[in-house]
Each structure stands twice: as structure tokens, then as C-alpha cells.
Amino acid sequence: MNSNIEFREGLDELAGHYRYVLQLLGENPDREGLEKTPMRVAKAMQVLTRGYTQDPHKVLTDALFAEEYNQMVIVKDIDFFSMCEHHMLPFYGKAHVAYIPNGHITGLSKVARVVDIFSHRLQVQERLTQQIKDCIQDTLHPLGTMVVVEAKHMCMQMRGIEKQNSITTTSAFSGAFNQAKTREEFMNLVHSNTMRG
């Protein structure tokens, strides 16, 4: 973990709650292996939810450039990790994002940062997909936006149905991507690098 991370207010209180959780699970939080665990988990959870303190719209506008390019821009295979809000277990995979500029473009890394910010919140995959699309559409005002997210969910792999190789795919689109031909072009361009089992 990056030692330069600034942790948010409430870290000690959060660690205290995790100490109590260990007790409720039947563990001894004072034993050697668990003595520092409550604080480690508290710090980890603040890192995993750092997206709550970041503004994805500002990330896009900080690198906004006038450009008369009006063809599809695709940033694909963006790795992400998130936490399912139902069980607080990880889900992870790849996001593929496209937009068709309407007079302005943004830095390519900023698209990946938007994915990172929204994924570092308690999430469901469907909302994550929609939030990425809405942020790009509302901030850049492109001719269209499309997002496809492919993920594996630990809540399905470790508990419940316990299916190890299932992949969940969600999509959201707007504008020019309402046309089936444009969506098909996007899917053909990302297809060769979609997530494999």
C-alpha cells in the first residue's frame, strides 16, 4: 500500500468497529496475528472507497481540448476493482468506453480515471456502468457515449451459487450509439480483447 496515502477522518473509529467485528466472529483481536488487523482493514477500506472524495467531472474537464475530430474514440480493457454493496466483496474486470467527440476531446488517461473513481465506491455493476456513461455524456457533451463492463463477482464465486467462471456483462449507451450499426462497430472493435475466463 502506498505510504503517501492521506487517510480520511474516522480511521480510528473504523478500526475500532473492525476490532468488534473480529470479536463477534469468535476471534481474539489481541492475539499476535490479529493485533494490527483492525487498523489494516480500516485503511484498506478507505483506499477501496476513495472514489467518494474524488470528482470525476473535474478529472475530464482538467484535460479538455478543442478538436474537430468526430469519429469514435475507444479506451478499452480498463482494469478495475470494486466492492459489491450487497456483500462488500470484490468484483473486478474490464471496462470498455467509447465516445464520439462533438468539438472537444479529453485526455485518454482521464477516461480510465473516471472508471477508477466510480469503481472505488460501494457499487453494483449496473450502476457503475451507467455512472461512467452519464459522467462522460454530461461533461463532454459528445455525439454519443457507450460503456461495456465485464466482471467477475466474488459474491458469486465464494458464497451463494459458487460459480467460478461466470462473467457478467453490462452496457449503457446514448446518442449516436442508439443506432445498432454504431454499437456493432464498437463491439467489433473491442471484441478481440474482451475478458476471457
Residue 23 confidence (pLDDT): 97
Residue 4 confidence (pLDDT): 67
Averaged pLDDT score across all residues of the chain: 93
The alpha carbon of 110 is separated from its chain's Cα centroid by a whole number of angstroms, namely 13
Range of the domain at 83: 56-191
Q: Which three cell numbers stand for residue 77?
A: 480493457
**Residue 60, CA distances (Å) to 53, 113, 115 in order:** 16, 9, 11
Binding-site residue set: 84, 87, 155
Q: Which three cell numbers stand for residue 119?
A: 469503481
Instruction: Give yes or no for residue 3 having a pLDDT over 80.
Output: no
Question: Look-up: residue for cell 481474539?
Answer: 28
- Find residue 170's DSSP bridge partners: 149
Residue 192 confidence (pLDDT): 65
- Give the CATH number, domain containing residue 89: 3.30.1130.10
- Residue 116 lies inside a defined structural domain of this protein: yes
Segment 148-174 mean pLDDT? 88
- Other Cβ atoms closer than 10 A to 80: 20
CA distance 139 to 132: 11
Report percent pLDDT > 90 for the chain: 86
pLDDT tier, 194 (very low <50, low <70, confident <90, very high otherwise): very low
- Residue 24 lies inside a defined structural domain of this protein: yes
pLDDT tens for each residue of 29-64? 999 999 999 999 999 999 999 999 999 999 999 999
pLDDT tens for each residue of 87-125? 999 999 999 999 999 999 999 999 999 999 999 999 999
Residue 125 confidence (pLDDT): 98
Q: What is the DSSP letter of 117?
A: H
Q: Which three cell numbers stand for residue 95?
A: 471496462
- Other Cβ atoms closer than 10 A to 90: 17
- Residue 5 lies inside a defined structural domain of this protein: no
Q: Say if residue 128 is in the same domain as residue 160.
A: yes
Indicate the SS3 state at residue 163. Answer: coil
Q: Say if residue 165 is in the same domain as residue 139.
A: yes
Q: Say if residue 72 is in the same domain as residue 134.
A: yes
Q: How many CA atoms lie within 13 A of 10 on its CB side?
A: 6
- Residue 21 lies inside a defined structural domain of this protein: yes
Sign of the CA dihedral with 80 first, then 51, 62, and 171 last: positive
The residues that are catalytic are 84-87, 125, 153, 155
pLDDT tier, 159 (very low <50, low <70, confident <90, very high otherwise): confident
- Give the CATH number, domain containing residue 16: 1.10.286.10
Please give the radius of gyration of the chain, using alpha carbons only, rounded to the nearest integer.
19
Q: Say if residue 24 is in the same domain as residue 92.
A: no
Question: Look-up: residue for cell 462488500?
Answer: 88
- Find residue 145's DSSP bridge partners: 99, 174
- Residue 157 lies inside a defined structural domain of this protein: yes
Residue 117 confidence (pLDDT): 98
Binding-site residue set for Zn(2+): 84, 87, 155
Q: Say if residue 107 is in the same domain as residue 153.
A: yes
**Least confident span in 120-124, 146-150, 190-194:** 190-194
